[in-house]
Amino acid sequence: MLTAEQIIELFKMKPLRKEGGYYVETYRSDERIAKAGLPARYNGERSLGTAILYLVTPDAFSRLHRVNSDEVFHFYLGDCVTMLELHGDGSSEVITLGPDITKGQQVQTVVPRGSWQGCFLNKGGRFALMGTTVAPGFETADFETAQRQELLKQYPERRELILNLTQ
């Protein structure tokens, strides 16, 4: 049976230090968008798009964070993942990414730009291999880590998940 360690080795994945989990960039467009052609929230030019493979394990989860672009998550294989999204309008969603679409699990979801997001492997799971596609392409400058106390004030109904997904 396939293990997380085998996947990490096969794809030469690295720890994603600020966020958590493991990743490898699989695509970065060689075409660029000039800063003048982008919304003001970007500090410079960007690739048209980027994609990564992303792996979570029982010990490696995605801490709450946000990015400047829409991010499309794709579920590929493994066990179910719970994703929390906290939106700028005060609403929130909890989504289950997984293979069983007959039970409401999703194989794809879009996290709107500027929404806080984080995810973890469901209890008893061994790993989940996912991918993300970002357009305009991701740059480290577009990444922001969540501040626990601020989110607890804004989204008190999601307290338990916020505590689990922040430091």
Give how far Cα 71 sits from Cα of 53, 67, 140, 152, Å: 13, 8, 14, 24
Q: Which CATH superfamily is domain 4-164 in?
A: Jelly Rolls (2.60.120.10)
**Residue 167 predicted with pLDDT over 90:** no
Question: What does the pLDDT look like over 104-135, one tens digit per residue?
Answer: 999 999 999 999 999 999 999 999 999 999 99
Q: Mean of the per-residue pLDDT values for the chain? A: 96
- Where along the chain do its domains lie? 4-164
Q: How far apart are CA 153 and CA 148, in angstroms?
A: 9
**What pLDDT does residue 158 have?**
97
pLDDT in tens, 81-106: 999 999 999 999 999 999 999 999 99
